Amino acid sequence: MTGRHPATAAQRTDLLHRMLLLRHSPEPAADLGEGDEAVAVGLRCALGPADTLVPAHRRDGPALAVELAHDDVLRHRSAVVVCFVGAHGTPGLATTLDHAIEDRLPVLFCCADQHDAHPAGAEALQTETVDGTDVEAVALAALTAVHPVRAGAGPRLLHFRTYAQHTEPLHDPIRILADRMRTDHQLDDNALAAIEKHVAAEVGGLRSR
């Protein structure tokens, strides 16, 4: 990925395919819900096989992320731990974040919500706010943030701005990418139908297992 957006139609097609598959999967991601596909797919573009994603539904997520990151440092692993935090924070979050900052632990904290403010307790983290409906913006921000975190610069926070009516065309991440591809002459009705047919076949295979 170079510059503001992926350079090729193939890269964008892959992002579109992955978001469609995630939306229609019979086993949706535990960390994010429908309409948050741009965050889920874009974030994973920046992660390697040694990295760890702590699901958002875990109340002990931040503490677990810090523990895992500390273990990675002790074992000299070049790995990043990604952890979602809620907009209202969790009990003890500020203390956990202070520990991560003090020890410069390789943790990338993420928050996906409709608020402009930092998650409660996360004010001390270096933060970037990103359009959570734009998968390419998410991927670029994640790639940019992961590099210094992995290099030992300490934890950071990516704040993904999302919307309540995320499945409306204006805020639907799948529609946003598809429209951009159409504008750039990278997608037409036939190509989109082929992608959707492929996704339907994959989802059908998952349901039959």
Closest among 26, 17, 40 to 174, alpha carbons compared? 17
Give the contacts of 89 (CB within 8 A, at least 6 positions apart): 119, 120, 121, 122
Which residue type is seen at 23? Answer: R
Q: How confident is the model at residue 40 (pLDDT cuts 50, 70, 90)?
A: very high
Q: Tokens 């295979």 map to which residue?
A: 205
Separation of alpha carbons 80 and 67, rounded Å = 12
Residue 82 has pLDDT above 70, yes or no: yes
Phi first, then psi, for residue 54 (nearest 5°) are -90, 120
Separation of alpha carbons 34 and 136, rounded Å = 18
Domain boundaries, the chain: 46-167
DSSP classification of residue 118: P
Looking at the domain covering 46-167, what would its CATH class be?
Answer: alpha beta
Give the contacts of 97 (CB within 8 A, at least 6 positions apart): 62, 109, 121, 122, 124, 125, 155
Residue 5 has pLDDT above 60, yes or no: no
The vertex-140 CA angle with 36 and 15, nearest 5°, equals 55
Q: How confident is the model at residue 124 (pLDDT cuts 50, 70, 90)?
A: confident
How far from the centroid of its chain's Cα atoms is residue 99's Cα? 23
